[in-house]
Amino acid sequence: MSETIFVDGILNGRVAFVTGGGTGITGGVARALAEAGVSVALVSRKLDHLQPAADAINQNGGKAIAVVADVRQPEAVENAVAQTIEQFGKIDIVVNGAAGNFLCAAEELSPNGFGTVVDIDLKGTFNVCRAAFAQLKEHRGQILNISATLHYLGTPMQLHVSAAKAGVDALTRNLAVEWGRYGIRVNGIAPGPIEDTEGMKRLVPEPVKERLRKGVPLGRFGRIADIEKAAVFICSDAASFINGVVLVVDGGHWLTGTRLG
């Protein structure tokens, strides 16, 4: 994040469990939380993604550990939660960012292709919320789910992802209602097209990029830093009465109806 927009140490003493926290948007969110004073557990399938990200945070004066777990496996998630508590003593922030994605026309998508993305994005988010619930309840913590704007309209080649992310938004709203009584806030961020991500490089073909950019009213693609700032705000006490919100951070893009296909 690096720019000083927030008061130093605004989240001092908190502990976050961040899935997909090694790379991309959620990697940035993890780094920004660490800069704001949060001890972060970076969780995903691949240690070679996680370890460099954790090392960078630690070298920068933050506190991070790398924890290998596939969010599709409830037991692995429970173990990752236990490791985080062992290391940092508690969990009071959960960020669900682990996501699968590929471009595929609906008529060519196999049941396993559809199911794999739903398993990672939607069921993985549930598995993590479920495993962290006791900690969140004890510490009046919060959940931040990263979704998308794909499902607000129809997005070609993204049926599986749109369905999964729509489900994630449903989890956000339902858990906000059910767990609010425990003081747990549950919110989401729906990023629009973010330029400095692997997803954007891999999923948006060059010729489509310019058209997509023109469809953003603010005239530029988002940056990971834009999502980082929104995440730090939602996780901070400035947002203490914000619950069940999916904050769209897209420069107004989805409203223009410009899609991938």
Beta-carbon count within 10 A of 250 CB: 23
Q: How far apart are CA 172 and CA 178, in angstroms?
A: 10
Beta-carbon count within 10 A of 238 CB: 13
**Alpha carbon 223 to its chain's center:** 14
Residues 177-206 binding ligand HXC (CB under 6 A) are 198-199, 203
Residues 3-32 binding ligand HXC (CB under 6 A) are 24
Residue range at the interface with ligand HXC (CB under 6 A); choices 52-60, 88-96, 105-113, 134-142? 105-113
Decide whether 151 or 185 has the Cβ nearer to ligand HXC. 151
CB of 7 to ligand HXC, least distance (A): 31
Residue range at the interface with ligand HXC (CB under 6 A); choices 9-17, 61-69, 108-116, 233-241? 108-116
Is 110 an interacting residue with respect to ligand HXC (CB under 6 A)?
yes
Is 117 an interacting residue with respect to ligand HXC (CB under 6 A)?
yes
Q: How far apart are CA 122 and CA 166, in angstroms?
A: 9
Q: Report how far apart, in Å, the C-alpha atoms of 108 and of each of 151, 158, 179, 229 are.
A: 19, 12, 39, 38
CB of 70 to ligand HXC, least distance (A): 8
Is 99 an interacting residue with respect to ligand HXC (CB under 6 A)?
yes
| Coil vs helix vs strand at 65 | strand
CB of 173 to ligand HXC, least distance (A): 20
List the one residue from 47, 87, 102, 137 that touches ligand HXC (CB under 6 A).
102
| Coil vs helix vs strand at 192 | coil
Closest CA to 29 of 232, 237, 233, 249: 232
List the one residue from 54, 128, 148, 230 that touches ligand HXC (CB under 6 A).
148
Is 112 an interacting residue with respect to ligand HXC (CB under 6 A)?
yes
Burial of 140 (0-12, 13-18, 19+ CB in 10 A): exposed
Question: For binding to ligand HXC (CB under 6 A), which residues are involved?
Answer: 24, 99-102, 104, 110, 112-113, 116-117, 148, 161, 198-199, 203
